[in-house]
Structure 1
């Protein structure tokens, strides 16, 4: 039987914080408490509310575990479960129909990483390249941050957030609502503000 207790892990979300975690493993292949790793100087025992409640989402009785096909009009919430094979077949048929009617560039898969992982994302990149689908440079959340990096440093490299609390007098946060989505960045930024009076600007 698998041992229970707290285990070291890492957040699965596509977030630049890439937080180190401590996850409680329960006896029935379930997880319990999730908290930021205290021994990691960046995470410093802090984790966002979304990941702190990961067990609730992972084990929720209403979590979707199979594809659904809509049987009523949009907004009717009328769906029936279908198999993964049927879901993939229907998706392929829709893509081929769009290609045949409007050309390959009429298909624009908009996606990024989220919690699906880099391997599956890069698989979609191969599909769009092979089929000649429309593509995009990056996501709506990455582009503003990269623009900020280029404007501020001239390259795609930002400051180590841990340096914020030690040295920064002015903290400029580009393209993110860090209070809601990057609690660890704000932990170090607020420390700099409290301890040294650093100013914070959000673009």
Structure 2
């Protein structure tokens, strides 16, 4: 089986995370920019992580005609009915950065008590193999949202999210540790399990 993959992402943090996690399974991955694909933005108009993941994977697969992996991931906060969910990256607006998204989240949780701050990171990965077969895997990392940002590692909502069983935020964990417990790592683990039955 060809272990070369194009990741349907232009987010360098996400690509690096995928590269680190997938390399231990022998996969060679590159982002769409490194693969020389056009920078056309894929319209993510799905209503679920699964739908958006498939939309992205199919768009890049159709362009590159090679094995393609895409993920859609986000933070689901129970107090907010699952928001920001699929809108996590643009929670504070289409051009919002991590700091703005985090600030909006904290403001919306001002009245949430400590036992009302549960949340989970969700990652859904779609892999389209060379022959067009689609494999979908979902991973979740449960925890809670703290009241202020801590830590410098990671990206996105990592400085606000304390995983279950930990007393520090995802952004305070060494990358190697984060990459063992993250929603992305869990989704990749499931993906590899499914793939191993096909080899």
TM-score band w.r.t. shorter chain: under 0.3
Q: Give the TM-score taking structure 1 as reference length.
A: 0.27
Q: Give the TM-score taking structure 2 as reference length.
A: 0.28
Structure having the higher Rg: 1
